[in-house]
Amino acid sequence: MATKEKSVFFCKSCGNESPKWFGKCPACGEWNTCVEEKEVRSKKQEDRRQKTEVVPMPIKEITNAEEQRITLPFEELNRVLGGGLVLGSLVLVGGEPGIGKSTLLLQTALQLSGKRVLYISGEESQNQIKMRADRVGIHNENCLILTETDTKEILKHFKDVQPDIVIIDSIQTLSSPYVDATAGTISQIRETAAEMNKIAKTYQVPVFLIGHITKDGSIAGPKILEHIVDTVLQFEGDRHYGFRILRTIKNRFGSASELGIFEMNANGLREVTNPSEFLLSQRDEEVSGIAIAATMEGQRPMLIETQALVSTAAYGTPQRSSTGFDTRRMNMLLAVLEKRAGFRLSMKDVFLNIAGGIRSDDPALDLSVVAAVLSSNADIPIDNRTAFAAEVGLSGEIRAVTRIEARIAEADKLGFEKIFISKYNAKGLDTQRFHIEVVPVATVYDLATELFG
Ligand code: TYD
Ligand code: MG
């Protein structure tokens, strides 16, 4: 068989392919991300690539079948997938090592009843998987474990087993015989992912790919993988705390801003269906610097706690740091407080934290951040039955946010007594149906007066 050998250069960050070396990636502009790989494509592969049987079709003649979905045992997983697992979809589950990706998918496989699942592992032995399975409990006898990394063999077994769902743990261990590069290289990841996609699409079987994440937080075997797959889920959370967040990064079949919450305990993962109660810290005493925001994560309202600590800077340059909230946005809010409401914060250290390891970019968090900062600055606690939901603009005005009724209803449901919103959101709002007191405010100055007199 004639082979053609060539060197190709890839960008580690975006997967851009180039025939020659580069210092700065021409596609994404990153420096020093170039890696060289030998790519030997056999002729056979080129033949294989040319086979396509689809023909162009007038759009009117394409039947619009509703996408069919499998309902998985974890409601939180169904939610981030946009309402269940779509047949024929390729789903990438990324996360740092040890976060619980294998556990999540093995547990899903084991608890799914009436479906045949093929769990292919290139990372652990059958014994190791069995030990884990015993830990989380086996309910599905139709879960088959295969330890294989060669995609050609996988396809063979796939045809024998005829599973309803395939799980690959992990994409970095797969290797295709059609590409002469070691497993985990960009050429292999690209090729094997494309092959798995072909299996998914040809046989209309959903395939989960587990993918590792590099230190800088991107999925190893980079962006190119995100383009191939239909859905990207990211499993994150602090390894030292029990809870884990499953976040939708991309979804061809649903919203890309959904969030699922799990808790890891001695016998596997447990889903957290009441995230608000879980995210609000239990406190007996009232402390200053804490405010609760009524946010929306995807379709779901969620109350999360914003914590601020404002103290006099010990050194000349004040420190500003934030976890879970955009630091630039925090600096902007501090500048607004300084300029529009006369709070002298420029010589203060300000630390901001979103409790529970949550990251959020909902603009409705602004008002809560501002309230937490003001509370810490004045050292006056805010009643812990008070919530906030509004955006803050550059002139200190309090702006309306989307889905205000859902936010108010969630706070109401959890027994909050007061919620501060923008006066523009209050127009036409039927506050009679809530028990909670709705307080419209117009500017940050108003907010400070309402809160601390
Ligand atoms: P794992 O699923 O192997 O992570 P990943 O596949 O993302 O690398 O999860 C490993 C961690 O989870 C490990 O630190 C042990 C912990 N764990 C539990 O706490 N309880 C359990 O029941 C299981 C199976 C794992
Ligand atoms: Mg694993």
**What pLDDT, on a 0 to 100 scale, did the predictor assign at position 367?**
97
**What pLDDT, on a 0 to 100 scale, did the predictor assign at position 103?**
95
Which atom of ligand 1 is closest in space to residue 95's alpha carbon? Answer: 7
**What pLDDT, on a 0 to 100 scale, did the predictor assign at position 446?**
93
- Of all ligands present, the nearest one to the C-alpha of 107 is 1
Decide: residue 416, CB within 10 A, 0-12 exposed, 13-18 middle, 19+ buried. buried
Q: Is 84 helix (H, G, I), strand (E, B) or coil?
A: coil
- Of all ligands present, the nearest one to the C-alpha of 96 is 1
- Of all ligands present, the nearest one to the C-alpha of 169 is 2
Q: Whose CA is nearest to atom 14 of ligand 1?
A: 98
**What pLDDT, on a 0 to 100 scale, did the predictor assign at position 275?**
75
CA of 101 to the centre of ligand 2 (A): 6
Tell me which residues have their CB closer than 6 angstroms to ligand 1: 95, 97-103, 132, 135-136, 264, 266-268
- Of all ligands present, the nearest one to the C-alpha of 100 is 1
> For 288-345, what is each residue's pLDDT tens digit?
999 999 999 877 888 999 999 999 887 778 899 999 899 999 999 999 999 998 998 9
**What pLDDT, on a 0 to 100 scale, did the predictor assign at position 4?**
58
Q: Answer whether CATH 3.30.470.10 is correct for domain 67-273.
A: no
Q: Whose CA is nearest to atom 25 of ligand 1?
A: 268
Ligand 1, residues 264, 267, 269, 270: which to mutate, most atoms within 8 A of Cβ?
264
CA of 95 to the centre of ligand 2 (A): 10
CB-CB contact of 206 with 89 (8 Å): yes
- Of all ligands present, the nearest one to the C-alpha of 124 is 2
Those residues whose C-beta lies under 8 Å from the C-beta of residue 288, and which sit 6 or more positions away, are 375, 376, 378, 379, 380, 381, 382
Q: Whose CA is nearest to atom 17 of ligand 1?
A: 268
CA of 98 to the centre of ligand 1 (A): 6
CA of 167 to the centre of ligand 2 (A): 12
> For 30-54, what is each residue's pLDDT tens digit?
888 888 887 666 555 555 554 557 7
CA dist 451 and 387 (Å) reads: 12
Give residue for tokens 């079987």: 205
Which atom of ligand 1 is closest in space to residue 135's alpha carbon? Answer: 22
Which atom of ligand 1 is closest in space to residue 266's alpha carbon? Answer: 20
Q: Whose CA is nearest to atom 15 of ligand 1?
A: 98
**What pLDDT, on a 0 to 100 scale, did the predictor assign at position 121?**
95
CB-CB contact of 305 with 355 (8 Å): yes
User: Of 169, 397, 403, 420, whose CA–CA distance to 292 is shortest?
Assistant: 420
CA of 170 to the centre of ligand 2 (A): 7
CA of 108 to the centre of ligand 1 (A): 14
CB-CB contact of 221 with 211 (8 Å): yes
Ligand 1, residues 93, 103, 209: which to mutate, most atoms within 8 A of Cβ?
103
Q: Whose CA is nearest to atom 11 of ligand 1?
A: 98
**What pLDDT, on a 0 to 100 scale, did the predictor assign at position 295?**
93
**What pLDDT, on a 0 to 100 scale, did the predictor assign at position 378?**
93
Q: Is 385 helix (H, G, I), strand (E, B) or coil?
A: coil
Which atom of ligand 1 is closest in space to residue 170's alpha carbon? Answer: 6
Which atom of ligand 1 is closest in space to residue 107's alpha carbon? Answer: 24
CA dist 351 and 321 (Å) reads: 5
CB-CB contact of 132 with 100 (8 Å): no
CA dist 336 and 369 (Å) reads: 12
The pTM of this model reads 0.79
pLDDT tens string for the chain (453 positions)? 445 567 888 887 777 888 899 999 888 888 888 888 876 665 555 555 545 577 888 888 877 777 889 999 999 999 999 999 999 999 999 988 888 999 999 999 999 988 999 999 999 999 999 999 999 988 888 999 999 999 999 999 999 999 999 999 989 999 999 988 888 888 888 899 999 999 999 999 999 999 988 666 565 555 778 889 999 999 987 656 677 889 898 999 988 878 888 988 899 999 988 777 666 766 667 899 999 999 998 778 889 999 999 998 877 788 999 998 999 999 999 999 999 989 989 889 999 998 877 788 899 999 999 999 999 999 999 998 999 999 999 999 999 999 999 999 989 988 899 999 999 999 888 888 899 999 999 999 999 999 988
Which atom of ligand 1 is closest in space to residue 264's alpha carbon? Answer: 19
Q: Residue 16 carries which DSSP code?
A: -
Domain borders along the chain are 3-45, 67-273, 277-452
Q: Is 384 left (phi over 0), alpha (psi -120 to 50) or beta?
A: alpha
Q: What top-level class would CATH report for the domain 277-452?
A: alpha beta
CB-CB contact of 345 with 374 (8 Å): no
Which atom of ligand 1 is closest in space to residue 103's alpha carbon? Answer: 2
